[in-house]
């Protein structure tokens, strides 16, 4: 699986590195390292455990090794998986070819294309509806919007899509492998969002053509927004939005 390969590739970078700060917010989770580096991952708060302690080992995470926390991506707990991916993203060094650009300018869409979007990316919806013949949006909890479908329909509709845009949050809940398996006919496959690990070697072999994620540049600002329940719209000024064209 993709998380297995990410763990394997990041293992050398995790050696000797220590977690300095952990922040589990309602929208995002952030993990920062003492030696530098801060990573983000979507918080599946709706799937978090109930009770007065969502993270059972809370209060003991700072000071642990980055490798240990990264391996939490292999657990079956939603919050722990987010902590694992955020740690992996803290370890990632964006490739030299990554560049700052508006992702709408990078996604290749033609007027005859059918586009599938896994996860609702509001800024892209209007643009894609103008450019493409049809847009399918897959969400776990559809809001009765035009073209929106429950996520279980993705295996049925993705094979007919020419362009597929998948939320990086699917790395966290490990649905990304199955989604990519249903998108083999797509000409363009984009992994998008702050949770996206910018590791081209892992995704290129699986047909992905574009990675679009973030690099934290203002750690204090990101931690404050995350701790106060904010997301990308609130910390966009504290990150660099980076994209890497794989093919």
pLDDT band at 48 (very low <50, low <70, confident <90, very high): low
Give pTM, 2 decimals.
0.94
178 C-beta neighbours (distance < 10 Å), count: 14
- Is 53's pLDDT higher than 60? no
**Of the candidates 244, 243, 224, 242, the residue with the CA atom closest to the CA atom of residue 234:** 224
Average pLDDT, integer, range 39-48: 84
| Pairs from 206-211 (Cβ < 8 Å, separation ≥ 24) | 206/2, 206/180, 207/180, 207/183, 208/180, 208/246, 209/245, 209/246, 209/247, 210/103, 210/106, 210/107, 210/243, 210/244, 210/245, 210/246, 211/243, 211/244, 211/246
One CATH from 3.40.50.410, 3.90.1150.10, 3.40.1360.10, 3.40.50.11590 for 99-214: 3.40.50.11590
Residue 247 confidence class, pLDDT cut points 50, 70, 90: confident
- Looking at residue 211, its pLDDT comes to 98
For residue 61, pLDDT beyond 90:
yes
pLDDT-derived band at 50, boundaries 50, 70, 90:
low
Instruction: For the chain, give every domain's residue range.
Output: 2-93+217-231, 99-214
Domains 2-93+217-231 and 99-214 share a fold: no
**pLDDT level of residue 140 (50, 70, 90 thresholds):** confident
**Residue labelled with tokens 């989770």:** 29
Q: Give the per-residue pLDDT at 51.
A: 53
Residue 171 has pLDDT above 70, yes or no: yes
Residue with tokens 């897959």: 138
Residue 175: pLDDT band (50, 70, 90) is very high
CA distance 165 to 169: 12
Among 31-40, 42-51, 226-235, which stretch is predicted with the lowest mean pLDDT?
42-51
- pLDDT exceeds 60 at position 222: yes
- Region at 82 (left for phi over 0; alpha for psi -120 to 50; beta for the rest): alpha
CA torsion angle 108 114 116 122 (round to 10): 70
Q: Which one-letter DSSP state was computed for residue 203?
A: H
The answer on pLDDT for 57 being more than 60 is yes
Q: Is the pLDDT of residue 121 over 90?
A: yes
The CATH class of the 2-93+217-231 domain is: alpha beta
* Mean pLDDT calculated for residue range 139-151: 81
User: Which pLDDT does position 127 carry in this prediction?
Assistant: 96
Mean pLDDT of the chain: 94
Q: What angle do CA 61, 242, 43 make, to 5 degrees?
A: 35
Is residue 197 classed as helix, strand or coil in its secondary structure? coil
């Amino acid at each position: 699986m993709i998380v297995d390969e990410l763990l394997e590739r990041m293992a050398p970078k995790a050696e000797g590195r220590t977690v300095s700060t952990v922040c589990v917010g309602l929208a995002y989770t952030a993990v920062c390292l003492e030696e530098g580096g801060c990573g983000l991952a979507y918080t599946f708060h709706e799937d978090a455990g109930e009770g007065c302690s969502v993270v059972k080992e809370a209060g003991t995470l700072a000071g642990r090794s980055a490798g240990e926390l990264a391996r939490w991506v292999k657990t079956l707990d939603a919050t722990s998986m987010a902590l694992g991916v955020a740690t992996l993203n803290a370890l990632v060094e964006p490739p030299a070819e990554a560049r700052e650009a508006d992702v709408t300018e990078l996604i290749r869409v033609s007027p005859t294309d059918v586009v599938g979007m896994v996860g609702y990316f509001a800024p892209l919806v209007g643009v894609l509806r103008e450019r493409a013949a049809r847009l399918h949006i897959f969400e776990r909890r559809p809001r009765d919007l035009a073209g929106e479908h429950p996520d279980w329909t993705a295996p049925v509709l993705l094979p007919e899509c020419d362009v597929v845009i998948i939320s990086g949050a699917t790395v966290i809940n490990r649905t990304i492998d199955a989604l990519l398996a249903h998108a083999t006919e797509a000409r363009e496959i984009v992994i998008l969002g702050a949770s996206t690990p910018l590791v081209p070697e892992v995704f290129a072999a699986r047909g992905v053509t574009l990675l679009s994620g973030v690099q934290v540049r203002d750690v204090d600002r990101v931690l404050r927004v995350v701790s106060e329940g904010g997301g990308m719209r609130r910390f966009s000024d504290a990150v660099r939005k980076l994209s890497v064209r794989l093919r």
